[in-house]
Structure 1
Amino acid sequence: MPTTLDRWLTRSLFLSVGFNAMGAFALALPQVFYPILGIPVPPHPVYQAVTVLTIALFGLGYLLQARAVQRDRTFLTIAALGKAGFFGIFLVSWIAGLVPWTAPLVTFGDVIFAAVFVAWLWKTRSEQV
């Protein structure tokens, strides 16, 4: 029987799919969305393509984990680090004056998802095989 935390994790994973889809879409259109974030358009489209692909693949991973009967702790650890790191990059960039305050605000959802992932990992640590 799933616990409350399991249900939160499943919901967070499904929400992360949508969050990543929106992020990949926004980053795929740099001339439209980068100015909103206050970040420069990458000098070469390959950088942008790699970023969009990475975000989209993580979104697929979130979908697969949301539907999985048994969770993959390694993936969820990497996902938590990735979500926290993505927010951290924008937070540090704001502190350094490289982006406006809205940039870390837009990515704040990532740190919330990271917290749910970490809470689940911590709570289920004794269940590791």
Structure 2
Amino acid sequence: MKYVLMACLPMNVSGAAIFAPPCSFLRESLGLPESHPLYLGVLSIWILLFGVAYFWQGYRGRIDRTFLTVGAAGKAAFALLLMALAAGGNLPPQAVAVGLPDLALAVVFANWLRRPDPLLIG
């Protein structure tokens, strides 16, 4: 789990880049819509901050249960929202691929939280 959390940093850096206001070419290539730079900027910053926090928890070898629960819920919600929007015709089907790694991590996080003592890595 330590390495899974640490691997979230580069994944979240990629996600932050996708939603960074100047990177409209990335969103366009992935089938994601444009939005106001304020919303894109806030989203990008939060994705990056969560990536740093995931990395830090893996690096230090202790997991905060509440943080990991929020992370699992957020990752699942993002992926499921993309799926629902694509199913409703509001996003192209390829946009779903953006959320599949998040959905996989949400499952990993949820399974980790089911352990008797999910706070310790090792």
Report which of the two structures shows the higher radius of gyration computed on alpha carbons.
1
Contact 1:94 1:101 in 2 (8 A): yes
Q: Which runs of 5+ in 2 are unaligned?
A: none
Matched, 1:34 2:27: yes
Indicate the residue corresponding to 1:79 in structure 2: 71
Contact 1:30 1:41 in 2 (8 A): no
Deviations 1:5-45 (A, max 9, x none): xxxx2222122111100111121134211112223211x21
* TM-score normalised to structure 2 length: 0.88
Q: CA deviation at 1:124?
A: 2.9
Count of aligned residue pairs for this structure pair: 118
What SS does structure 2 have at the residue aligned with 1:123?
coil
Q: Which runs of 5+ in 1 are unaligned?
A: 1-8
Q: 1:21 aligns with which of 3, 13, 18?
A: 13
Alignment root-mean-square deviation, CA: 1.6
Contact 1:90 1:104 in 2 (8 A): yes
- Cα distance in 1, alignment partners of residues 26 and 91 from structure 2: 13
What SS does structure 1 have at the residue aligned with 2:89?
coil
* TM-score normalised to structure 1 length: 0.84
1:1-129 to 2 correspondences below 5 Å:
9-28=1-20, 29-42=22-35, 44-124=36-116
